[in-house]
Amino acid sequence: MAETMATRQAYGKVLLELGETYGNLVVLDGDLSKSTMTYDFSKEYPKRFFNMGIAEQNLYGTSAGLALSGKIVCASTFAIFATGRAFEIIRNSIGYTGANVKICATHAGITVGEDGASHQTFEDIALMRTIPGMVVVNPSDGNSTMELMRQVCAYKGPCYVRLGRAKVPMIYENTEDIKLGKGNTVREGDDLAVIATGIMVNEAIIAHNILKEEGVSLRVIDMHTIKPLDEELVLKAAKETKGIITAEEHSIIGGLGSCVSQVLSEKYPVRMGFVGQQDTFGESGKPEELKEKYHMQAQDIVGEALRLLK
Amino acid sequence: MDLLELERQGRNIRRGILLATHEAGSGHPGGSLSCTDILTVLYFHEMNINPEYPDMQGRDRFVMSKGHGAPALYCVLAERGYYDKSEVLTLRKLNSKFQGHPDHKLVPGVETSTGSLGQGFSASIGMALADRIDGNSARTYVLLGDGELQEGLVWESAMAAGHYGLDNLTVIIDFNGLQIDGKNEDVMTVTPIDKKFEAFGFNVISIDGHNLKEIIDGLNESKNVLGKPTCIIAKTVKGKGVSFMENQAGWHGKAPNDRELEKALSEVGGEW
């Protein structure tokens, strides 16, 4: 069994390192610091941590003011509240101003689990990627989360970083090749390619192994940066395989699947399949049960692959 | 201080507001004229700023949270020398830096982009916290409309300002009593404003927002209160200085026509 770690845990860990690297890094939270994992930073750097209470609009408005005063700001709460409740504050006070705020939102997607539909967001990538200039990142494992956070903090401008609650297997031992704005091919294959993001990268790797048994070679791309999208890598995969599947723990409306199909429909149309949340709310349950019921598992990627090969 | 000089600058700013909104054919003269005297005192008497270096370290900051007061902000910055006064007459036109609501990336001296109500107040909390982290003695001033108090974000921000005891923050309410659809009390009651801010941990001062001496004294008091933010409730007149605009909700978002402009300019005087 590979080492596992939730991406939110990796976020909490790398914040301590980044607090040391950047004397002007300030972290804000909305009464969820033990869940978003900003708690350790708050203890290590109490003068650079502000708990804004259960008030997400002001959490992001205050972040903008700090950033416009020269701070690098990482502001965390659950993804549903960050991108849903505070959307227009993020749009106007952070996006429009270009404030150097990193919206590091945890508990995205179905793997929130037992808290149920009110807390499971499938809309956040769609919302964030429509804001001009917003960088959108959805790491697949702990190590890449830490590396991407280093690059996100080195980059000047607004970023949305989507993090998860549930533990996921480590995919990367070495993070040298991880570059913000570039996808990573984590499994080679020439029959089909799956472009996955977040926790679905691991599912795609499992799908790769299942299909290999059946003589099908599935390329697996970790598209950790959704905006700006690595179009070159998408087009290469489309040209070198017989079809593209996208896989995301997000609505198939407006997320990675939409981004990829927009590029391909304009520049190199190919057959596509979309794995993700099918225009429906979630419900309470264990993460694995929910992934099965809502069709966000390796088997669902395999099913799409076999359909495209028919 | 020279009150006569401040009065003269105020007349110039009022003239600029009328000329710019007339030229644009749209905009918000009513709420710009109601806050003109407050902005005049802030920019010509109170704040430590330098038009030559708009981003000067350790400067005081002003945030126009009622972003529709943009004409007043643009005109006071021009009067203070941040840019040429004639430029402001491109207000609201294509390719102008003087957007309908302030864009901080385009206009020197504008600390953040506003227009969506409540957000400037929220950003000012971050600015005040940043000065605290850096050990700056600078102050942040933020101007809110009274109708703006209906936004939930205002009270999230007030709670945070009180919680963190931001004594380097002065909130000013431009209390003219009117909003787009009519009187505050008919649309959505905002009073009592003083008791609300007191309850959120503010030192509250009530002044006549057109009495320059009272504005100066209120700002002075706010600097001497330790451990809590100050809220100055400035009773104002929407459209102040132009007889036919005064206390008329209809002049919230309407520009004067040629004939109205002529009459208005003769009343406010000044130079632009």
The model's pLDDT over A84-99, given as tens digits with 9 standing for 90+, comes to 999 999 999 999 999 9
Give me the pLDDT at residue B1, please: 65
Residues 6+ apart with CB under 8 A from A174: none
A235 touches chain B (CB under 8 A): no
* CA–CA separation, B128 and B141 (whole Å): 9
Q: Find the mean pLDDT for residues A262-282.
A: 98
Domain chopping of chain A, boundaries: 4-169, 184-309
Q: CA of B115, closest CA in chain A: separation in Å?
A: 9
Measured CA to CA in angstroms, residue B120 lies from A1, A152, B140, B142 at distances of 50, 26, 11, 7
Q: Which CATH superfamily is domain B3-268 in?
A: Thiamin diphosphate (ThDP)-binding fold, Pyr/PP domains (3.40.50.970)
Q: Find the mean pLDDT for residues A253-271.
A: 98
Q: What residue spans of B58-109 are helical by DSSP H?
A: 70-79
Q: Find the mean pLDDT for residues A146-160.
A: 98
Dihedral sign for Cα B176, B179, B183, B189, please: negative
Mutate to test the interface with A, among B125, B139, B154 (most CBs of A within 10 A): B125
Give φ, ψ of A183 to 5 degrees: -80, 165
Given B111, B119, B130, which is nearest A71 (Cβ)?
B130
CATH class belonging to A4-169: alpha beta
Given A58, A65, A88, which is nearest B127 (Cβ)?
A65
Is the ipTM of this structure higher than 0.90? yes
Cis ω for the linkage preceding A158 (within 30 of 0) = no
pTM score over 0.95: yes
A100 touches chain B (CB under 8 A): no
Average pLDDT of chain A is 97
* CA–CA separation, A61 and A87 (whole Å): 11
Given B104, B125, B134, which is nearest A62 (Cβ)?
B125
Per-residue pLDDT at A1 exceeds 70: no
Residue among A198, A212, A223 nearest A287 (CA): A198
Give me the pLDDT at residue A300, please: 98
Annotated catalytic residue A56: yes
**If pLDDT is split at 50, 70 and 90, which confidence band does A226 have?**
very high
Exposed/middle/buried for residue B4 (C-beta within 10 Å: 0-12, 13-18, 19+): exposed
Q: Which residue of A has its CA nearest to B164?
A: A50
Q: Find the mean pLDDT for residues A112-131.
A: 97
Residue among A87, A99, A82, A220 nearest A161 (CA): A82
**If pLDDT is split at 50, 70 and 90, which confidence band does A82 have?**
very high
Beta strands in B38-131 (DSSP E): 61-64
Report the 10 Å Cβ neighbour count for A262.
Answer: 13
Give me the pLDDT at residue B130, please: 98
Question: Could you check whether A4-169 and A184-309 share the same CATH topology?
Answer: yes
* CA–CA separation, B4 and A301 (whole Å): 76
Question: Which chain A residues are within 8 Å of B157, Cβ to Cβ?
Answer: 58, 61-62
Of the listed A3, A44, A56, A147, which one is catalytic?
A: A56
Residue pLDDT tens, chain B, 272 long: 699 999 999 999 999 999 999 999 999 999 999 999 999 999 999 999 999 999 999 999 999 999 999 999 999 999 999 999 999 999 999 999 999 999 999 999 999 999 999 999 999 999 999 999 999 999 999 999 999 999 999 999 999 999 999 999 999 999 999 999 999 999 999 999 999 999 999 999 999 999 999 999 999 999 999 999 999 999 999 999 999 999 998 999 999 999 999 999 999 999 99
* CA–CA separation, A235 and A215 (whole Å): 24
* CA–CA separation, A211 and B18 (whole Å): 72
Inter-chain contacts counted by CB atoms under 8 A, chains A and B: 103
Measured CA to CA in angstroms, residue B188 lies from B28, B68, B146, B220, B226 at distances of 21, 19, 11, 32, 33
At the second CATH level, the architecture of A184-309 is: 3-Layer(aba) Sandwich (3.40)
* Per-residue buried b or exposed e for A64-94, using 16+ beta carbons within 10 Å of the residue's own CB: bbbbbbebbbbbbbbbbbbbebbbebbbbbb
Q: Are A239 and A259 in contact (CB under 8 A)?
A: no
